[in-house]
Structure 1
Amino acid sequence: MPVLAAHVTDAPLDLPALLTAVEDARSGAVVNFVGRIRDHDPEAAGEVVAIDYTAHPDAPRLIGEIAGRVAADLDPAGEARIAVAHRIGRLAVGDLALVACVASPHRALAFAVCAELVEAVKRDLPIWKQQFEADGRQVWSNLGLADA
């Protein structure tokens, strides 16, 4: 399965470009996930107005490795095509934070790969977020300190 695009970037995410990257004549299904900044979060006491994502320096390399691992685990025949991008920096409510696109000959494979790709990126990519609330409060999450 080719991983056609895997990026960590401070530029706005381009969903149409990622969809175009995975499409081909063999693909009968294209599944995408778009994660956006929302105005609330269970970890926030008030209204969320922005999130600042900070990435480990290895994150740009690791996102490709994560996508490759998901591909190897779920699509050993190599039929699906993957594109994934995570944005870093300060994002406002409504901005795209994570986009994953998977094309394959059949929908079941595309759905399975896309779902696992999103979970793996959220779980394994070293990106931390600082939420900014309307009242000025700031909350960090994804620091990996819960069991420390």
Structure 2
Amino acid sequence: MILVQEEDFDVDVLYKRLLHANKTGAVAMFVGLVRQFSDLPNDECSFELEHYPGMTERNLQAIVDEANQRWALIDVCVVHRVGRLSVDDQIVFVGVSASHRAEAFQACDFIMDYLKSRAAFWKKETQGAKSHWVEANEKDQHSLARWSK
């Protein structure tokens, strides 16, 4: 399941979608949140995510398809929010079920690394009256590079 939406998501509901009787041996999940990214305590921070409907979903499906080629996965769920988000709001859910924990952990990590660097989202951070578009940083690129080995 791949969803791009403005609405918040329920982690418990998504977790239960990943469970498949007599098959699932492990579920690995990641939930990303908007953090306070200003050092000034009174600065109001927000995060805005934009995307191209259709293109973004195809892009996410390609990432999930590659994860399925690398590992024997039972199910994958990716939910990514768009629109304006505030500190502590949930941004992204990635959940992976597999027969074994190593596959679930690795696939979840892989999907998140690709989401951070290759997914078709545009991110803008706003701190008080200042805003800027966020680009993939060197740390994100380094994380992504480890999967090409």
User: How far did residue 104 of structure 1 move?
Assistant: 1.0
- Residue 125 of structure 1: aligned partner: 119
Note if 1:13 corresponds to 2:9. Answer: yes
CA distance in 1, matches of 2:12, 2:24: 16
User: TM-score scaled by structure 1?
Assistant: 0.81
| Stretches (4+) displaced over 6 A | none
Give the match's secondary structure for 2:110: helix
Matched, 1:102 2:99: no
CA gap of 1:104–1:143, structure 2 versus 1, over 3 A, is closer
Contact kept, 8 Å, 1:83 with 1:100, in 2: the verdict is yes
Unmatched runs of 5 consecutive residues or more in structure 1: none
Amino acid at match of 1:21: R
Mapped to 1, the partners of 2:73 and 2:45 lie a distance apart of 40
Q: Sort the Cα spacing of 1:79 and 1:61 in 2 relative to 1 into closer, same or farther, 3 A.
A: closer
CA deviation vs aligned residue, 1:119-147 (integer Å, no higher than 9, x gap): 111111110111111x3111111389xxx
Q: Would you tell me which structure has more helix in proportion to its own residues?
A: 2
User: CA 1:48 to 1:28, structure 2 compared with 1: closer, same or farther past 3 Å?
Assistant: farther
What is the RMSD computed on CA atoms of the aligned residues? Answer: 1.9
How is 1:58-97 mapped onto 2 (pairs within 5 angstroms)? 58-72=55-69, 74-75=70-71, 78-97=72-91
Size of the aligned set, in residue pairs, is 133
1:102 positional shift:
0.6
AA paired with 2:63? I
Instruction: Give distance in 2, aligned partners of 1:12 and 1:52.
Output: 14
Gaps of 5+ in 2: 138-149
- Helix, strand or coil: the match of 1:52? strand
2: CA distance between counterparts of 1:92 and 1:80? 33
